[in-house]
Structure 1
Amino acid sequence: MFRGKDARGNRWSHIELGRWGEGVAADYVRAHGGKLLYRNFRGPRGGELDLVLRDGQQLCFVEVKTRRKRATGRPMDAVTGEKQELIERGGRAWLRLLRDRDVMWRFDVVEVELVDGQPPMVTWVKNAF
C-alpha cells in the first residue's frame, strides 16, 4: 500500500516519491519477465536512464514517471521532447559501452500511479517513443 509519508507524517518530497516509484517499476518489470541491468545510469556527456533492462532479446532504456493520481493526464505525458532527448542521449551513451552494438533496443516508459492507501497502479508502455 502506498502511504507517501515518512514516520512523522510528513509528505514525501518529489525526489523521494520518484525513487520509490523507480523501485516499484523495477519490481514490476522483473515480475513481468524483464531482467534489470542498471538503475539511474548517467551518461558521461549527459543523458539519463532510470532503468536499463532486458526484455527477451531487447535492451530497454526506461523512463519511470510516478504521479500521485491521474488528475491531468497520464504520467507518460510528462515525457516531453526535451526529456526524450535526455533519455536518447543516455541510451546512446549505454550503447557506446557495448561491444556488440547490433543488439535490438527500444525506449519504454513505466507509469506508476499512486493513491494513498491503495496498491500502486503500474503500466509498462513498450516502444513509448
Structure 2
Amino acid sequence: MTARDGSPLGRKEIGDFGERVAAAWLRAQGEKVLYRNHRAPRGGEVDIVARKGKLLLFIEVKTRRQGAKIRGYDAVNADKRALIERGAGHWRELLKRNDIPWRFDVIEVTVEEGCKPVVHRIEDAF
C-alpha cells in the first residue's frame, strides 16, 4: 500500500488504516463504536470498544497485506490477550457496572493495493 505521494506505507499507517476500516465496517453492521485506542493506566489497550445492542465488545484489529504468511488472529498471542484484557477491565471499571455482558472479538483486515479491504470478524475470539 502506498500513500498519496506514492511512498510506501509503514506498519503503523497500515494498522491505523485497518482500524479505520474496521470501525466503518462495524458502523455499517449497525454497531456503535464507543471509543478507539483505549489505553489503560496499567498498560492495557483495546483497539475498538463497541456496542452491539446491549453487548459490549472489546475488539482487537489486525491488518495484514494480501499474501501475508501469518494471519492476524494468529498474532493475538497470550501476551497480547493479557494487554487487551487489562484494557477491557479498565473500561469496565470506568462504567461502574458489572451487569453488562461483554466479549472479545478480533477483526482481521486484509489489504491489497487497488482493492477494497477484506474484513473478517472472529467473534468470542478468546
TM-score when normalising by structure 1: 0.93
- Structure 1's unaligned 5+ residue stretches are none
Count of equivalent residues: 126
Structure 1 runs of 4+ with >6 Å offset: none
Deviations for 1:11-51, whole angstroms, at most 9, x for unmatched residues? 10111111111000000011112110000000011100000
Aligned residue in 2 for 1:56: 53
**Root mean square deviation of aligned Cα:** 1.0
Aligned partners of 2:2 and 2:113 also within 8 Å: no
Aligned residue in 1 for 2:20: 23
Deviations for 1:42-89, whole angstroms, at most 9, x for unmatched residues? 001110000000012110000000001143242111111110000001
Instruction: For 1:77 and 1:32, locate their aligned partners in 2 and report how far apart those are by CA, in whole Å.
Output: 24
TM-score when normalising by structure 2: 0.95
Aligned residue in 2 for 1:99: 96
- Structure 2's unaligned 5+ residue stretches are none
Other structure's SS at 1:30 match: helix
Instruction: Using CA pairs under 8 Å that are at least 6 residues apart, name the structure with larger relative contact order, 1 or 2.
Output: 1
**1:75 is aligned with what amino acid?**
G
